[in-house]
Amino acid sequence: MTQAEQPTPANDAGSDDATGADAKRTPKAGPKASPATKKTATKKATARKATRKKSENGVSASGAATGKTPRKSAPAGKSPGGDAQKAAPKAAKQGATAAENAAGAAAGATERDAQASLIEDFDALSSYLADVSGKSQDVIAEFLGKNRDMVDIAQGRRSADPLNVGEAYKEMMQGLAADPATVMQRQFNLWGDYAKLMASASRRLSGEQVKPTIQPDAADKRFRHPAWTDNYLLDFIKQSYLITSKWLSGTVEELEMEDDYDKRRAEFYTKQFIDALSPTNFPMLNPEVVEATLASRGENLMKGLKNLLEDIDRGHGDLAIRQADLDYFKLGENVATTKGKVVYQNEILQLIQYEPTTEQVAKRPLLIFPPWINKFYILDLQPKNSFIKWMVDQGRTVFVVSWVNPGPELADKTFEDYIKQGCFEALDAVEKAVGEPGVDAIGYCIGGTMLATALALMARRGDDRIKTATFFTAQADFTEAGDLLLFVDDAQLESIEKQMDAAGGVLEGRAMATTFNMLRSNDLIWQFVIDNYMMGKDPARFDLLFWNSDSTRMPKNVHLFYLREFYQKNRLAKGEMIIDGETLDLGEVDLPMFFQAGETDHIAPHNSVYRTARLMARDGADKVTYMLAGSGHIAGVINHPDKKKYHHSVNEGLPETLGEWKEGAEKRAGSWWSYWMAWLDRESPGRVDARHPGDGDLAPIEDAPGAYVKVTS
């Protein structure tokens, strides 16, 4: 599993699972004022209320941004709201006496009401600016310390173009030069669209009601503020951007290029360029930012600057955008709270066994292999959206692997080590803990890729301890693995290897997170730039985004093997992968398997998961079930039945193509968990008395969630 398809509070799973009202992002609070300052601020606040009441006939704070007509127009050549500004001192004097009389009554107000505004309280403002100044000095020091990177680039030790974007655009320019007719036709199309826009804008300016020349996509949240439609100028800017974006992406798409890989990279980076230039990313054009600036008299921008400096400082000179309140969530307290014990550990994992909540449990224990790119508690966020807790409540003895957050001391670990020490030692430990030799296994994303590889090795050696296998958004055939294939050419892998060598033999978690966030840059990069640095909001108290920010490192050899052998060369699917001296064949895996995929998954596209299911069903499609869930890589998995969200499509068959499967599929409302649970109950029958951690041959080491998951990057 990866971070690319992380939901945002506004549009994906579990936003109501965060902390209720606390999940809402609010403007960041300034420093607390002294009692004397609070009293002064209370008087000033009362005076300001009187001032605003008497100056309501001026332009409202939101009027300039929304295009609404003010009660009294500003004279030509004067700034909007000028009369109100002139009237403010007079109104303030008239309200001063009333403010002083009201001060006594206001003294009993809550502390929040008594907080001094940064703009209006000199002491608070001075303290705030001093803090910002200190942060600025730290950031400058970090930047100067990292300037040696420029020397490394100049001397060839570090690539100036680590993503190899230049090569893609070089090929694109050659394609443009080789097909001038197409370029000219596309240029004429652009001029035609702009002519339509100019005509439409002229008619609207004259008072005529006209239909827009172009509309944003229905799923595009950037232009939902009414001002983008109501305000004549903003509407024109929006439509100009949409026309140019459509033209640019369409031009690149129609290009004939020698290398299809280079063309796909050119399309991807062109989209990044288009997303970055959205007018919503510019404070003077974004009506939400304009409104917030007018309402707070610029306080949002000051707080945004402080947020920016703090994020650069936290990233040690690089920008580390906060997606969630990193101080609010505590592992074992308000996330990862399902009761259990660590019953086994080695240098790369801790194995957690959870306490049962039913008197009887399924005979066969359940062993979960989450991805080591992220931390396991995506499956155990909070009780009302925890997959692990739900499984325990269904009467399953649940074990989960908590992977280590590796440092340089584990740089030499290999993918084979993760199979032996991760999968095989976990299987041995589960048998010692409960006395049952067979398990039902789950592999999530890269954990599923590892599980498929281990199953092929076990099949070759006659090891049948895994009785059923379930794959959450996991791939073993990477032929159609999506946009991540664009990051695995030789030049980029060489750059990644140098980056890991410089970090002591590990890939820093933030580096991988940035790549994944690029797959949904509007939601996972630019929206946070707007909220954090322009709106001055506090990061959200949202469990999924907190988990997304809690990234992990990866050992160099493990990560390069994954990128080269799976993504780049697809050796496992081709029957060419060698693990521990064995050439693996997925067709030899013969056990019941369940594949879950997500409709909008950008990391493990559902067509790629279907290819994997077909590949592993080569000797009998009746042993494999494929199910397609609504939403994506995270929300498609973490969808508690009680939420009654999304949908899932089921089809007991596994025809040759995904299109045929969809034609015969039945769409059902809500979560897929119960459908899968029914499948598991059929394939894994039998009940025994509940088994507690410590009942078997393994003594508990510590309480869940354990120590490994608490190691931060």
Tokens read off for 95: 């309200």
The β-bridge relationship of strands 593-598 and 624-629 is parallel
- Whether 445 sits among the annotated catalytic residues: the reply is yes
Cα separations (Å) of 555 from 162, 402, 422, 497, 693? 19, 16, 14, 11, 31
Structure tokens belonging to residue 693: 């951690």
CA pair distance 159, 150, nearest whole angstrom = 10
Catalytically annotated residue among 410, 445, 530, 534: 445
CA distances to 229, 287, 423, 534 from 65, rounded to whole Å, are: 11, 5, 57, 15
CB 284 within 8 A of CB 237: no
Q: Where are the beta strands (DSSP E) in 404-524?
A: 439-444, 466-472, 506-507
Enumerate residues 6+ apart whose C-beta is below 8 A from 672.
596, 627, 629, 639, 648, 650
CB 7 within 8 A of CB 544: yes
DSSP secondary structure code for residue 7 in this structure = P
Check residue 207 and give left, alpha or beta (phi > 0: left; psi -120 to 50: alpha). Answer: left
Contact 62, 294 (CB under 8 A): yes
Number of alpha carbons in the 13 Å side-chain half-sphere of residue 284: 2
What string of DSSP letters covers 165-207? HHHHHHHHHHHHHH-HHHHHHHHHHHHHHHHHHHHHHHHHHTT
Please check whether residue 593 is in contact with residue 469, taking contact to mean a CB–CB distance below 8 angstroms. Answer: yes
Q: What is the DSSP letter of 130?
A: H
21 touches 118 (CB < 8 A): no
Rg (CA), the chain: 29
What residues act catalytically?
445
